[in-house]
Amino acid sequence: MKLHTRILLWLVLGTLTGAAMRAWLPAEFVVDEKGVARLADGCALDTWLAPFRLAANVFMSLLRMLIVPLILTSIVQGVAGIAGSRDFGRLGGKTLGYYVLTSLLAITTGLLAVNLFRPGVGADLPLAVPDHFEPGGGRSFADILERMIPQNVFEALSDNGLMLQVIFFALLVGFFLARLPERHRRPLQELFESGFALMMEIAGWVLSLIPYGVFALMVKVVGETGFGSFGDLLYYMAVVGLALLFHAAVVLPALLWFIAGVSPLRWFKAALPALLTAFSTSSSSVTLPVTLRVVEERGRVSNKIASFTLPLGATINMDGTALYECLGVLFLSQFYASSGGFSLDLADQIYVVFTALLASIGAAGIPSAGLVMMTAILSGLGLPIEGAVLLLAIDRPLDMMRTAVNVWSDTIAAAVVARTEGEEVLTTASSASP
Ligand code: ASP
């Protein structure tokens, strides 16, 4: 059986198992300090979920353990390999161009969806409605820029949330490594190349565990969250799902087809293990080892391009998150406006578009990072951040969807850049399964 079919089967099985446990096992809930209901420690459901939680955590840690060494080695050796040549500017330009373009397209989809379906109008939300708002200075581009530069490299390397800093450092190391005299350059470059090859070997082994990891994660997530708590926000969730689907199934495939001439369906099949991992882990960074493996082995993208575009993409290219930032903030402001509060004018909406882009770049590839960034946009607009806290209660399923879209866009970036660099992709991939 193909790897992606196996993962899909285990994913469905995990969902059913989690749902069955949730339905049949007695459970108690407590409300935590953020006002979100959580499973009480020690109730029957909690006890039964424990082994699945353990397996899920072990699986997540196996992937997490690879993130920093993979990002560091892949970017350093990737950049060092091309920094000397004229390829560097071109590749970098294309990659960043694609990232900004697709993120803006995603935000536009979010903007259209929220104005078309108006999920916030008349929504019944337990939020106090302010009658005016005071745009604060908020957090801005300058802020992201400042946080991008590590004050201490070792601190950045030891925190999975500081990936933008690791990337910044790795880009510098790769770039200047290429300029060192031969005697110094050679051993270091070989060290990073070998280190990267080693990490990819380990990633290959973790790949074979994905079906079981995904199973445990789904049991845990569905068992802990269930489906019942979404109530009034179901319409909003449906709008988010629809907008994400439109971006993933129409906009991105169109780019893949028209710019790269690659069949979206075949590419989807090749990328599926990474998409399913993204869906069940809710983390692009955690998925990175799988994404790299899958794009190189099943997608047949060269190591040069995959190791340059994907680690960057996992942190700075988040189409799903960008779309969600825009849709979520405008949803809340729609609610406030329709409940007798204030409304956002065009300038505010434009502000939302640009901060959504920055928030998606600045967000770490970890679960619910997008929601944390949303509080920054809200306070920049002078809106109460309680809205984001409310959305936290329903964030998991939305996070799963937007993370899958984030990773889908990264894989397409690799294909588009590879094709425009004259590479053949997917040539033997339809039959290949690692
Ligand atoms: N969980 C997402 C990711 O890792 C980020 C987000 O919260 O939107 O891609």
Closest Cα to residue 318, out of 265, 375, 364, 353? 364
Atom from ligand 1 closest to the CA of residue 403: 9
Closest Cα to atom 8, ligand 1: which residue?
370
Give CA torsion, residues 386, 136, 145, 89, to 10 deg. Answer: 100
Q: How far is the CA of 44 from the centre of ligand 1 (A)?
A: 31
pLDDT for 160 equals 73
Mutate to test the pocket of ligand 1, among 368, 371, 394 (most ligand atoms within 8 A of CB): 368
> Residue 345 is encoded by which pair of tokens?
């004018």
Angle between helices 234-246 and 87-117 (to 10 degrees): 140
pLDDT for 433 equals 42
Phi, psi angle pair for 159, to nearest 5°:
-135, 115
Angle between helices 319-338 and 234-246 (to 10 degrees): 140
Owner of token pair 């129409």: 250
> Alpha-carbon distance 33 to 426, whole Å?
49
Atom from ligand 1 closest to the CA of residue 324: 8
> Residue 46 is encoded by which pair of tokens?
């909690």
Count Cβ atoms within 10 A of the Cβ of residue 346 and give its class: 0-12 exposed, 13-18 middle, 19 or more buried: exposed
Contact 402, 321 (CB under 8 A): yes
Q: For residues 130-160, b (16+ Cβ closer than 10 Å) or e, as one string? A: eeebeeeeebeeeebeeebebeeeeebbeeb
pTM of the model: 0.85
**Is the Cβ atom of 284 under 6 angstroms away from ligand 1?**
yes
Atom from ligand 1 closest to the CA of residue 366: 4
pLDDT in tens, the chain (434 residues): 777 888 889 989 999 999 999 888 888 888 777 666 778 888 888 899 999 999 999 988 898 888 889 889 988 988 888 887 778 889 989 999 999 999 999 999 999 999 999 998 888 777 777 666 655 444 555 666 777 889 999 998 888 777 788 888 998 999 999 999 999 999 999 999 999 999 988 988 888 898 999 999 989 888 887 766 566 788 999 999 999 999 999 999 999 999 999 999 999 999 999 999 999 999 999 999 999 999 999 999 999 899 999 999 998 899 999 999 999 999 998 888 888 777 777 778 888 888 888 888 878 888 888 888 888 788 777 788 788 878 887 888 899 999 999 999 999 999 999 999 999 888 744 444 44
Extended beta strands in 12-118, E state = 29-31, 37-39
pLDDT for 134 equals 58
Domains of the chain: 3-420 (1.10.3860)
Count Cβ atoms within 10 A of the Cβ of residue 113 and give its class: 0-12 exposed, 13-18 middle, 19 or more buried: buried
Count Cβ atoms within 10 A of the Cβ of residue 201 and give its class: 0-12 exposed, 13-18 middle, 19 or more buried: exposed
> Residue 129 is encoded by which pair of tokens?
């409605």
pLDDT for 248 equals 98
Q: How far is the CA of 65 from the centre of ligand 1 (A)?
A: 18
**Is the Cβ atom of 282 under 6 angstroms away from ligand 1?**
yes
pLDDT for 340 equals 77
Three-state DSSP at 65 gives helix
> Residue 342 is encoded by which pair of tokens?
């204030």
Q: How far is the CA of 184 from the centre of ligand 1 (A)?
A: 39
Q: How far is the CA of 321 from the centre of ligand 1 (A)?
A: 6
Q: How far is the CA of 370 from the centre of ligand 1 (A)?
A: 6
Q: What is the DSSP secondary-structure string of 368-428?
A: THHHHHHHHHHHHHT--THHHHHHHTTHHHHHHHHHHHHHHHHHHHHHHHHHHTT---STT
Phi, psi angle pair for 321, to nearest 5°:
-65, -45
Closest Cα to atom 1, ligand 1: which residue?
367
